[in-house]
Amino acid sequence: MTRPFRQQIDEGILDQAAALFARRGFAKTSVQDIAGAVGLSKAGLLHHFATKDALRAAVLAQAETLGRRVLDQVRDLPPGAARDRRAVEALIDVALAHPGMVALLLTPATQDGLGDPELEFATAAALQAFGVDPDTAEPERFVRVVGACAALAVLTLAAHRENQTTAWRQHVVATCFDALGHRGPGAAVSDPDQVEA
């Protein structure tokens, strides 16, 4: 099996595992559950990941890699509308490509006891992409960034469910950008002084 193909299969397994961990929790998700979700036998899955713990570690590592990828795209931009737009676009692209990871990252906010404390870095990375430090950020900015991230997660999961990932992308970007307090192009403006450059 060629390396890119193997990597693609492994990423698919990780995303399905993340989705199942989000839905059922790690303890209640069996190797057989994951194998069935990805269309492999249990032995076939164990060929890719030797144990369920190895699979969990790989899911956490993948989430961290995706977070670093987003940060790399915005790190050199100063705070402001351009950085916010780039952060939104980068996060949406990751979310559309990895819906299971998004579901897993939402778990701490939606289901008590199923979230993994080791995923806290992902929340920190999302905030950092927008240049927000939760300890020093103005409350309005903090709430807008958290709201934009929540909208991004929910809308990208809905886009997957509706099979509309391409069609909805621009609307999800606009919605999140608006949530951050920026007016996107073509937005209705009642006060001309509110238009952002």
CATH of residue 176 = 1.10.357.10
78-112 pLDDT, tens digit each:
999 999 999 999 999 999 999 998 888 876 555 44
Give me the domain span that covers residue 117: 3-194
Tokens of 27: 């303890």
Q: Is the separation of the CB atoms in 168 and 130 below 8 Å?
A: no
Closest CA to 106 of 162, 142, 155, 168: 155
13-59 pLDDT, tens digit each:
999 999 998 888 888 999 999 999 999 999 999 999 999 999 999 99
Cα–Cα dist 101/17, whole Å: 9
Q: Position 111: which residue type?
A: Q
pLDDT of amino acid 103: 85
Q: What is the largest CA-CA distance in the chain?
A: 63
Closest CA to 176 of 96, 68, 64: 96
Give pTM, 2 decimals.
Answer: 0.81
Cβ neighbours of residue 63 closer than 8 Å, sequence gap 6 or more: 18, 101, 104, 105, 119, 122
**Domain tally, the chain:** 1
